[in-house]
Structure 1
Amino acid sequence: MTRRTDIDVRTVTEAEFPDWNRALNTGFLQPPAVAAEQLEARRRQFVPGRLLGAFDGDRCVATFRSFDQEITAVGGTLLQADAISNVTVTATHRRRGLLTRMMARDLAAAKDRGDVVATLIAAEYPIYGRYGFGPATTMTEWTVDVPRARLDPRWAAPEDGGRIDLVDGEDVRKLGPELHERLRRAQPGAVSRTDLWWQARTGAVNLSALPWTEPCYALYRSADGQVEGLASYRADDHWGDAKQPLNTATVDWLLAVTPDAERALWRYLCSIDWVQTVKSGWRAPDDLLPHLLPDPRAARITTQADWLWVRILDVVRALESRAYEGRGTLVLEVVDRGGPAGGRWRLEAGPDGASCAPTTESAHLVLDVGELATLWLGDESAVRLAALGRVREERAGAARVADALLRTSRRPWCPDMF
Structure 2
Amino acid sequence: MSRSEDIHVRPITEPEIPDWTRALHTGFLRSPHVCDDETADRGTYIVPSRTLAAFDTDALPRSRPCSTGGTPMVATFRSFPQELTAVGGTPVPANAISNVSVTATHRRRGILSRMMALDLAAAKERGDVVATLIAAEYPIYGRYGFGPATHTAEWTIDVPRVGLDRHRPAPDDGGRIDLVDGADVRKFGPELHERLRRSRSGTITRDDRWWQVHTGALRRDRVPWTEPFYAVHRSASGEIEGLATYVCDDHWGDDKRPLNTATVQSLIATSPAAERALWRYLCSIDWVTTVKTGGRAPDDLLPHLLPDPRGARLTTYADWLWVRILDVVRALEARTYERPGALVLEVVDEAGLTGGRYLLQAGPDGAECTRTDREPQLTLAVGELARLWLGDESAVRLAALGSVREQQEGAASVADALLRTSRRPWCPDVF
The TM-score, its normalising length taken from structure 2, stands at 0.95
Q: Is the 8 A contact 1:30 1:209 kept in 2?
A: no
Within 5 Å, give how 1:345-364 maps onto structure 2. 345-364=358-377
Q: Which moves more between the two structures, 128-137 or 241-250?
A: 241-250
Aligned to 1:390: 403
For residues 76-119 of structure 1, give each alpha carbon's deviation from its aligned partner in whole angstroms, at most 9, with x where no partner exists: 11100000011111111111111111100000000000000000
In structure 2, the CA distance between the partners of 1:332 and 1:170, relative to structure 1 (3 Å rule), is same
Distance 1:115 1:185 in 2: 19
Q: Is the 8 A contact 2:244 2:278 kept in 1?
A: yes
Distance 1:261 1:27 in 2: 42
Partner amino acid, structure 2, of 1:95? R
Distance 2:27 2:213 in 1: 21
For residues 172-201 of structure 1, give each alpha carbon's deviation from its aligned partner in whole angstroms, at most 9, with x where no partner exists: 111110100000111101111110111111
Aligned to 1:94: 107
Give the SS at the match of 2:101.
strand
Residue 208 of structure 1: how far off its partner (Å): 7.8
Q: Which runs of 5+ in 2 are unaligned?
A: 58-70
Give the one of 189, 205, 220 matched to 2:218: 205
Residue 124 of structure 1: how far off its partner (Å): 0.5
In structure 2, the CA distance between the partners of 1:156 and 1:396, relative to structure 1 (3 Å rule), is closer
Distance 2:286 2:25 in 1: 38
Aligned to 1:11: 11
Aligned to 2:60: none
Q: Which moves more between the two structures, 353-362 or 155-164?
A: 155-164
Q: Which runs of 5+ in 1 are unaligned?
A: none
Residue 235 of structure 1: how far off its partner (Å): 1.2
Aligned to 1:42: 42
Q: CA RMSD in A?
A: 1.1
Partner amino acid, structure 1, of 2:207? T
Q: Is the 8 A contact 2:144 2:351 kept in 1?
A: no
Aligned to 1:31: 31
Aligned to 2:66: none
In structure 2, the CA distance between the partners of 1:112 and 1:349, relative to structure 1 (3 Å rule), is same
Partner amino acid, structure 1, of 2:222? A
Give the SS at the match of 1:181.
helix
Aligned to 1:143: 156
Instruction: Give the 4+ runs in structure 1 shifted more than 6 A.
Output: none
Distance 1:153 1:76 in 2: 36
Distance 1:324 1:17 in 2: 45
Partner amino acid, structure 2, of 1:151? L
Q: Is the 8 A contact 1:312 1:318 kept in 2?
A: yes
Aligned to 2:84: 71
Aligned to 2:22: 22
Aligned to 2:314: 301
Percent identity (aligned)? 71
Distance 1:88 1:308 in 2: 18
Give the SS at the match of 1:151.
coil
Residue 151 of structure 1: how far off its partner (Å): 0.3
Q: Is the 8 A contact 2:159 2:291 kept in 1?
A: yes
Q: Is the 8 A contact 1:51 1:64 kept in 2?
A: yes
Give the SS at the match of 1:49.
helix
Distance 1:204 1:416 in 2: 19
Aligned to 1:415: 428
Give the one of 293, 304, 307 matched to 1:280: 293
Partner amino acid, structure 1, of 2:229? C
Residue 162 of structure 1: how far off its partner (Å): 1.3
Residue 168 of structure 1: how far off its partner (Å): 1.4
Within 5 Å, give how 1:219-230 maps onto structure 2. 219-230=232-243
For residues 275-304 of structure 1, give each alpha carbon's deviation from its aligned partner in whole angstroms, at most 9, with x where no partner exists: 111111000011110011000111111000
Partner amino acid, structure 2, of 1:28? F
Question: Would you say 1:117 and 2:130 are equivalent positions?
Answer: yes
Residue 344 of structure 1: how far off its partner (Å): 0.7
Aligned to 2:199: 186
Give the SS at the match of 2:338.
coil
Partner amino acid, structure 2, of 1:47? V
Q: Is the 8 A contact 1:31 1:209 kept in 2?
A: no
Distance 1:209 1:370 in 2: 36
Partner amino acid, structure 2, of 1:29? L
Give the one of 259, 262, 265 matched to 2:272: 259
Partner amino acid, structure 2, of 1:12? I
Aligned to 2:96: 83
Partner amino acid, structure 2, of 1:86? N
Q: Is the 8 A contact 2:37 2:221 kept in 1?
A: no
For residues 118-170 of structure 1, give each alpha carbon's deviation from its aligned partner in whole angstroms, at most 9, with x where no partner exists: 00010100000000000001111011110000000211421222111111111
Distance 1:55 1:120 in 2: 24
Partner amino acid, structure 2, of 1:333? E
Distance 2:220 2:295 in 1: 21
Aligned to 1:327: 340
Give the one of 178, 183, 186 matched to 1:165: 178
Aligned to 2:51: 51
Distance 2:102 2:177 in 1: 45
Q: Is the 8 A contact 1:151 1:293 kept in 2?
A: yes
Partner amino acid, structure 1, of 2:218? V
Question: Would you say 1:315 and 2:314 are equivalent positions?
Answer: no
Aligned to 1:103: 116
Distance 1:362 1:60 in 2: 48
Residue 327 of structure 1: how far off its partner (Å): 1.1
Aligned to 1:339: 352
In structure 2, the CA distance between the partners of 1:388 and 1:208, relative to structure 1 (3 Å rule), is farther
